[in-house]
Amino acid sequence: MIRVTDKLRFDTFKQNLMYIQKSIARNQDMVSAGKKILDPSDDSVVFSKNVEIQATKQLDVQFQRNLGRAKTLNSLYETSLTQISDLLAKAEEIAVSATSETSTAETRRYASEEIKGIIEHLVTVANSKLGNTYIFSGKKLTTTAFTLNADYTVDFNGSNDVQQIYVDAGERSDLGLSGNGVFYTNDAYAYYGNSYTGSVYSNSYYKTDNSRFLVNITGAGVPGTATYQYSTDGGTTWNGSDLTTATISATASQYVIDGTNNKIVFNDGTSDYTVTIGPGTYTADGLAAAIKAGMEGATAAADSYSVTYDAATGKFAIRNDDNAANPGTVTLKWSDANSTAAGILGFDTVDKEIGKGKTINGDYLGGMFIDGAGVANSTNKGTKMVFGATGTLAADDKFLDEISAFDVLKKLKDGLESDDTDTISETLRDLKIVMEEVEKNLVETGTFGNQIDSLINEKSDRATLYDEITAEMMDSDLGQLTVDFNTLTNTYQALIYAMSKMQSMTILNYLK
Amino acid sequence: MSISSILNIAKNAMFANQTSLQVTSNNIANVNTEGYAKQEAVFEEGVPVSTIAGLLGSGVKISEIVAYYDKYIEKMITDKNTTLEQQKTAEQYFTRIESILNEDNSNLTQDVVDFFNSWQELSTDPANTSNRLAVVVNGQQLSSKIRFMYSQLKSLQTDANNNIKQEVDRINRITSSIAELNQKIFESSSGGEGVNKYINERTNLLKELSAKMDIISFEDSEGRLTIMTSGGKPLVDSSLSWDLEAHVNDDGMYSIRWLGGAGTTYDITNEINGGSINALVSIRDTYIPEFVDSLDGLAKGIIEEVNELHTTAYNLYGQTGVNFFNDITEYYAKDIDLTDDIKNDIKMVATSSSSTNLYDNDIALGIAALGDSTIFDGGQSSAVTYITSIISKAGEYTKQAEDLASFNEDTMTILQQERESVSGVSLDEEMANLIKYQYAFQASARLFNVADALFQSLLDIQ
């Protein structure tokens, strides 16, 4: 039988008292903090998880700020593009009016002053700023996007590519538009006064700066035989040697294949193969046939492929024939460093898959590059200029590899000043092209604005979800805590009462 | 048999009961004395005298004063105390480590995220001066926070180290006192209240010593206690004691040496496997360095990865090769800081890899991306998961120490209760004894009256 001594009684009472006091203190801490997990030792897994979620929320707040900036910028773009669109529409009205029979040399002269005003206004809009940054300068944020020269030509000083921002973890998005993308199109631009009336095509998929190629016909002739030189500084200096013009004709011998651009790496659905095109000068049709033969010859089975050239668009097309021998989806491995033929065939250096029975078209014009090379390089920047199959190029005909709205307006101004209705009529076609480009940008801006809103809402929803999760994990149940507190205080009181009663149960109280 | 025998018996009885009253008074006085063992005077019948009528009792005497003392329970308490104090010390320090690393107090994760977020903000508008300033401010905040946490951990380590010294000093005082008590107990080997007092005192000291380190102890036939370290080094043997020394190592930390005399010393730091010293050494040498290393890893990762990108970038002066953080090769958490160039001129913050476009943001994006890249733990963890793993570890250690301390406290409580049951003083019992001995004393005193009356009767015979 255990002896219960006074020390034992008091020590037990003190221990129990301390235990309840500790429990009450803990209860109060949970009430005041509103949390049931106060320290990592309470539940290290939950505590750590909560820290991670808070960090993710904090990151999301930053993404929302990034998107907020993008939204502000986007709104500015919408406003600016609308103004640009309106100004170009006004210019179009003036051009249409100037070609009417009621217009005179004098009215055209007055109209040219209006066009000057439109150019000046456009440059102002094109140089819009948000804070310290020019919104159309691409990555060159603090560089004035456009410069208006005395002769009403306009130079673009920004960069073609734009900055990116994070919109989510590991996910970037372009922030903004480059003036190059708004005011310039990839269509070639023919100087007024040229005698050539055929079509001119161009692309520049590799270029990231604002350089433009000026082509000057040095030797007259039909496209494919006429010669040219090119300048990248607006005509101050030239490349120095005559190059043969390229034509969209499928039968002109102009595709020079050598060791730099003769390989295609592809997978036929089972294995990788490399096609090596024999060196030589090919026509478009001839090159298409050589590629077909090469692909079919490379594979072990009797695979069948169709390779064609479209003289209307200037692009190659490759088809994975719906043939029983073809194993399945073909992958053109343009990203492979050994696939050197992508450029001359007009494909991006991105792998392309062709399902059975499907066809893919080239991303860009097929053909030699503007500097006469068979591959894209730092000089030609992936730029090609190709002329139509008909017409004659005269010496000193000049062409730019891309149209700008400012070039067209300058052309219109000059035409109005010189009372040249033919030139004015030409600008109507070009105006339509640049207006379409602006309209396209306006639509994309609107779409991007919707995407931004959607992303912002998504993050808002995510924040709410995180709050729910962390509340579930961390928040204390105040109702339960109140009940617990009542229980503890009652127990505390009962303990003290019991102790006070035990005090009276001693022999000392009975001895007189 | 004579009247004087009656007087003798009465005298012995009074003396015996008076002694018992004294012992009972002592018990009552020490009812709350920690470690006190209830005592009792043992009555023994006096040696009977041979008479013609046969053996006649000669009264009572006190043969000894015994203390109600269970050596087995005391040993268990001593052993449990070693573990208990070890866990309580560990709990105390882990709680402090947890407090340092608790995100609610440190906001370290928040500062890390803020730092990388500020690079994101800068990437959205590199031409904005306030964005550049924010990167510098947040970088300084993060550096300062890491340094502060490092200094707190090191301060705790120093505290543990200093406590080791204090514990060693106290151990030496205890062992010296126990040796003295051994001698007193040996000299008072006849028993009595005095020796019990010494035994109680020695028991308390032994318990205090066991709280500091794990020991082996045993008593010889003379009642002298021998104490050794768990590695077999003597600390007390009879009236002799051996000191321990807190020796300062090259790194400023104390190691514990046993002083064997004649200049011999022996490092017993790693032989101490229990008690508060063991906990202090573990905290100081294992756990705090573990967390300091983790903090170092965080700082190192941030410094190296950010600098690697920043040095490839061009600042607004067109310069490249500029570090963002000071390029250090050790003590990363202790010394992490922004370079003076960056602190003094926000234009030195570089965001662009292009020498022709200083406002490009590709490097800023790259640095921002480090915030959730797995660049820690050999490419396994991002900064946030790395920090939460540190916090989680601190939490686990603390919880474990709390649980063990609680468990050992409960076990100790049971042992204490058992001890109290054997050795504790019950006032009710003592009051009952008091009355008992008081009556017996009164009755013995009455014997004098009777013997005196008998003498008077004899003297009155004429």
Domain ranges of chain B: 3-68+427-461, 74-92+164-275, 97-154+284-398
Q: Please give the model's pTM, rounded to 2 decimal places.
A: 0.84
Domain boundary among A311, A332, A361: A361
Q: Does residue A392 lie within any of the structural domains?
A: no
Q: Is A337 an 8 Å CB contact of chain B?
A: no
Asked if residue A80 belongs to a domain, the reply is yes
Residues of B in contact with A59 (CB under 8 A): 113, 117, 371-372
Whether residue A391 lies inside any domain: the answer is no
d(CA A181, CA A441): 8
Shortest distance between the Cα of A69 and any Cα of chain B, in A, equals 7
A 62-81 residues with CB < 8 A to B:
62-63, 65-66, 69-70
Tell me whether residue A265 is in a domain.
yes
> What share of chain B has pLDDT > 90, as a percent?
74
**Chain A contact set for B388 (CB, 8 A):** 48-49, 51-52
A162 and A89 in a common domain: yes
Task: Calculate the CA B214 to chain-centre distance.
Answer: 12
Same domain, A483 and A408: no
In this structure, the answer to whether residues A311 and A429 fall within a common structural domain is no
More confidently predicted of A511 and B234:
B234
Chain A contacts of B417, Cβ < 8 Å?
Answer: 2, 8, 12
Contact B121 A51 (CB under 8 A): no
What is the mean pLDDT of the segment spanning B238-261? 94
Provide the domain limits for residue A452: 52-185+403-463
Residues A499, A435 share a domain: no
* Gap between the Cα atoms of A363 and A342, Å rounded: 10
3-state secondary structure B199-244: HHHHHHHHHHHHHHCCEEEEECCCCCEEEEECCCCEEEECCEECCE
pLDDT 10s digits, A200-238: 999 877 777 778 899 999 999 999 999 999 999 888 999
In this predicted structure, what is the pLDDT of residue A512?
A: 61
The rounded Cα A215 to chain-centroid distance in angstroms is 30
Whether A482 and A457 map to the same domain: the answer is no
In a domain, A157, yes or no: yes
CB atoms within 10 A of CB A490: 10
Contact: B398, A41; criterion CB under 8 Å: yes
Q: Is B98 on the interface with A (CB under 8 A)?
A: yes
∠ Cα B283 B286 B291 (to 5°): 90
Please compute the mean of the pLDDT values over residues A452-474 and round it to a whole number.
94
Q: How close A5 comes to chain B (CA, Å)?
A: 4
A355 and A260 share a domain? Answer: yes
Q: CA A105, CA B83: separation in Å to the nearest integer? A: 109
Interface contact B103, partner A, CB < 8 A: yes
What is the per-residue pLDDT for B191? 57
Burial of B200 (0-12, 13-18, 19+ CB in 10 A): buried
User: Does B396 reach chain A within 8 Å, measured CB to CB?
Assistant: yes
Statement to judge: residues A457 and A481 lie in one domain: no
Query: Which chain B residues have a beta carbon less than 8 Å from that of A51?
Result: 103, 109, 384, 387-388, 391
What average pLDDT does the segment A469-476 reach? Answer: 93
| Pair of tokens at residue B9 | 């018996």
Out of A12, A52, A159, name the one closest to residue B385 (CB).
A52
The torsion angle over the Cα atoms of residues A19, A25, A31 and A36, rounded to 10 degrees, is -50
pLDDT per residue as tens digits for the range B59-84: 888 888 888 988 899 999 999 999 99
B192 pLDDT band, cuts 50/70/90, is low
Residues B108-112 have a mean pLDDT of 97
Can you tell me whether residue A312 is helix, strand or coil? coil
Residues of chain B neighbouring A45 (CB-CB closer than 8 A): 392
* ipTM at complex level: 0.85
Q: Which of A335, A361, A387 is the last residue of a domain?
A: A361
Give the nearest partner residue to B395 out of A2, A39, A139, using CB atoms.
A39
Q: If you measure CA to CA, which chain A residue comes closest to B105?
A: A39
Q: Is the CB of residue B224 less than 8 Å from the CB of residue B238? A: yes
Q: Is A169 on the interface with B (CB under 8 A)?
A: yes
Overall number of domains in chain A: 3
Q: Which of residues 132-161 of A touch B (CB under 8 A)?
A: 132-133, 139-142, 159
Q: Which residue in B has a C-alpha nearest to residue A41's C-alpha?
A: B395
Q: Which residues of A touch B117 (CB under 8 A)?
A: 58-59, 61-62
